[in-house]
Structure 1
Amino acid sequence: MSSFAAIINAPDYPPRIRHQAIFECFDGLDAGEVMLLVNDHEPRPLYYQFQAERPGDFVWEYVEEGPETYRVAITKLN
C-alpha cells in the first residue's frame, strides 16, 4: 500500500488519550480509506478493542511486525 488517508504515530500521543485519538482518526475515514498506525510495541490490545467496538467495520493488516516498529494498515469498511 502506498497511499494512506491518515498516519498515526501512536507514541506521539499521551497514553491516556492514545486509543481515543486513533479511534477518532478511524471514525473520520470514509469507507474504503486506509490509515496507517505506527507503534513502538505490538498493538494487539488495540486490535481487540477494534474487534469489540467496531466489529465488521475494519480490516487490520500488518505492514511491519517489529521488533522495534509495528506498522498496521487499518481499512475502514463501512
Structure 2
Amino acid sequence: MTEAATTAERVLDVREIPPYQRHEIIPRLFDHLAPGQAMQIVVDHDPRPLRQFFASVHGDDCQWTYLEQGPAVWRVRLRRAA
C-alpha cells in the first residue's frame, strides 16, 4: 500500500452543519491530527474567521491552503506542521 493510500485526508463538508457546531467540530478534528496529517473542509463562503482563529491559536502549526475559492464552494486544506 502506498503512503498516499494510508494517509488519506478526511474531507468534512460543513455546508449543512449550523455555524455554532462547525466552530466546535473543526478545531476538535484538527487537534486530533498527527504532525504532517491534513484534513479538508468544504464550506459555502470564505472561512476567513476560522483562518484567523487557527492563526491565533495554532500559529505556524496549522498550514492553511485554499484548494477552491468560490463563488459557491470553498475548499480548504488544514495541515498540522510536521
Q: Partner residue of 2:21?
A: 17
Say which of 14, 19, 33 aligns to 2:37.
Answer: 33
SS of the residue 1:56 aligns to: helix
* Structure in which a larger fraction of residues adopt helix: 2
Q: Partner residue of 2:63?
A: 59
CA 26–38 in structure 1, closer or farther in 2 if over 3 Å, else same: same
What is the CA distance between 1:4 and its match in structure 2? 3.9
What is the CA distance between 1:28 and its match in structure 2? 1.0
* Unaligned segments of structure 2, at least 5 residues: 1-6
- TM normalised by structure 1 equals 0.87
> Which whole-Å deviations, capped at 9, do the CAs of 1:22-63 have from their partners, x for residues lacking one?
001111111101100100000111000101111121111111
Counterpart-to-counterpart distance in 2, 1:21 and 1:70: 18
Percent identity of the aligned residues?
A: 34
Counterpart-to-counterpart distance in 2, 1:40 and 1:4: 23
* Unaligned segments of structure 1, at least 5 residues: none
Letter matched to residue 11 of structure 2: I
User: How many pairs were matched up?
Assistant: 76
Greater Rg by CA: 2
Report if the CA contact (8 A) 1:59-1:75 is conserved: yes
Counterpart-to-counterpart distance in 1, 2:10 and 2:33: 8
Cα-Cα RMSD: 1.4
Runs of 4+ in 1 over 4 A off after TM superposition: none
Q: Partner residue of 1:8?
A: 12
